[in-house]
Structure formats: C-alpha cells, structure tokens
Structure 1
C-alpha cells in the first residue's frame, strides 16, 4: 500500500507535472513560469547534493539518522502544493489547495518512512524544503495577480500526464550511485 502512495512523489510523475504547470503558467506570464522552474530547481539541487555527498563521500549525520534529503518528499510537497492551488485559484480556494498539497507531501513522505526508504529526519527535511519552494512560489503567484487561461485544458492535460507517468520510476538514484564516487574523489 505504501508503494502506491509513494509513487505520487516519484520524479517520473512530479517532474512532468511541474513542467506542465510551468507551460500552463507561461501561457499567461513567462517570467512567473521561470520563477517556478528556478525555485523547483534550487530544491532539486539541494536534494541531489545531499545524495551525492552521501553516496559518493559517505557524509551523514548518524545522531539523527540523516543521510540525504528525501527527493520524494521534496518534490511531492513542492509540486502538489503548487499544482493544486493553481486549479483552485479561480474558485478563490488557493489556501485550501495549499493545505491539500502540504498534506499530500506529508502523506507521501510518511509512505517513504514506512517503506524504509528514508528516515523521519530525511523526510522532514524534504517536506520542509519542498514546502518552502511551493509557499514562496504561491506567494509570488498571488502577488502577481496572474490570470491563468485554459484551466479546463490544463486540468485535462495534467491528468493525462499523471495517468501516463504514475508507477514509473525516474533513474536518478541509480545515476547518483554510479557517478557520485567519481564526483567526490575528483572534487572533494
């Protein structure tokens, strides 16, 4: 059961959703869409850096059981906390969307703990990072007063993307494990 929930946070699903949201936003304002992609990229870079440091250099904080920032928790809290409010914006329910997105990120993070893929500290770090990414972006979006066009088309498109991507797994972890030792030995 936890794997079913965890799949909603995999990069194979969340990254296409994030790009789909960026395309939807860009139809109204390219600069705001660029901010979304930049904020998400910063979060992903932090996750990737911790994974490289652990897989390649063996760096961890044993006292709190921390090896890496959970990518599933970061991506799910960032992407769902951004996508859901986008759809609920016209109805004036942005804060409801934020709450649902944060809850989804927390549930997906909990699934990662129950699957024994991450520790609580790793999931909390990922959830906090992803939540910060989303909350900063949603705040910027609200200040911009952006009027999104094509909500029905965007909803159908993103639902289609989700249906196709669900259950697939991005190969990032195997790439990190393969190349991290070389990165650490060369640069650290």
Structure 2
C-alpha cells in the first residue's frame, strides 16, 4: 500500500505534471511559466545536492538521521500543491487546493518513512522545501494577476499524463549513485 502512495511522488509522475502545468501557464503568460520551472528547479537542486553529498562524499547528520532531502516528498509537495491550487484557482478556492496539495505531500512523505526509504527528518526537509517552492510560486502568481485559460482541458490533460506516468520510476537515483563519487572527488 505504501509503495502505491509513494509512486504519486516519483519524478516519473511529478515532472511530467510540472511541465504540463508550465505549458498551461505559458498559454497565459510565458514569464510566469518560466518562473514556475525556475522555482521547481531550485527545489530539485537542493535535493540533488544533498543526494550527491551523501552518495558521493558520505556526508550525513547522524544525530538526527539525516542523509538526504526526500525527493519524492519535495516534488509531491511542490507539484501536487501547485497543480491542485491551479485547478481550483478560477473558482476562488485555491486555498483548498493548497491544503489538499500540502496534505498529499505529507502523506507521500509518510509513505516514504513507512517504506523505510527515508527518515522522518529527511521527509520533513523534503516537505519544507517542496511546500516553500509551491507557496512561493503561488504567491507570485497571485500578485501577477494572470488569469489561466483552459482549466478543464488542462485538468483532463494533466490527469491523463499522471495516469500514464503512474507506476514508472525515474532513473535519477541510479545516476546519482553512479556519478556522485566522481563529483565529490573533483570537488573535494
């Protein structure tokens, strides 16, 4: 059961959703769409940096059981929160979307703990980074006063994308495991 929940946070699901959201936003304002991708990239860079430092350099904080920021939790908190909030924005219920998205990120994070893929501290860090990405972007979107078009088409498209992508796994962890030692040797 936990694996089925955890799969909703895999990059194979969340990254196509994030790109779909960017395309949807770009139909109304390309700068805002680019800003969404930049915000998400910053969150992904934080996750990637911790994974490289642990896998390649062995850096961890043993006292709190922290090795890496949970990528599943960060991506699910950022992408699902943004996606659901965008769906409900036109009806004036984006705060409900934010709440549902943040809750889904927390549930996916809990699944990662129950699967023993991450510790509580790693999931909390992932949820904090992902939530910050989503809230920061959504706040800037509200300030921009951009009105998104095609909500129904976008919703159907993104549901199809997530349905097709669900159950697949992105190969990022194997790439990190393979190349991190070389990166750390060059940095240190």
Give 4+ residue runs of structure 1 displaced > 4 Å after superposition.
none
- 1:154 matched to which residue of 2? 154
1:47-126 alignment, distance < 5 Å: 47-126=47-126
Distance 1:83 1:156 in 2: 12
Alignment of 1:149-188 (within 5 A): 149-188=149-188
Deviations, residues 5-26 of structure 1 (Å, cap 9, x unaligned): 0000000000000000000000
Name structure 1 gaps, 5 residues minimum: none
Q: C-alpha separation between the residues in 2 aligned to 1:137 and 1:154?
A: 18
Aligned residues: 188
Displacement after TM superposition at 1:149 (Å): 0.6
In structure 2, C-alpha distance between the alignment counterparts of 1:57 and 1:90, rounded to whole Å: 47
Alpha-carbon RMSD across the aligned residues, in angstroms, is 0.4
Distance in 1 separating the partners of 2:187 and 2:138: 36
Q: CA deviation at 1:108?
A: 0.2
- Paired with 1:132 and 1:56, the residues of 2 have a C-alpha distance of 27
- 1:145 Cα shift? 1.1
How many Å separate the matches in 2 of 1:22 and 1:86?
Answer: 11
1:187 to partner: Cα distance:
1.4
Distance, in Å, in 2 between the alignment partners of 1:82 and 1:163 is 18
Cα shift readout 1:106-140 (whole Å, capped 9, x = no counterpart): 00000000000000000000000000000000101
1:71-114 superposed Cα distances (whole Å, 9 cap, x missing partner): 00000000011000100011100100000000000000000000
What secondary structure is seen at the aligned counterpart in 2 of 1:91? coil
Q: TM-score, normalised by structure 2?
A: 0.99
Taking structure 1 as the reference length, the TM-score comes to: 0.99
CA–CA separation in structure 2 for the residues paired with 1:113 and 1:156: 31
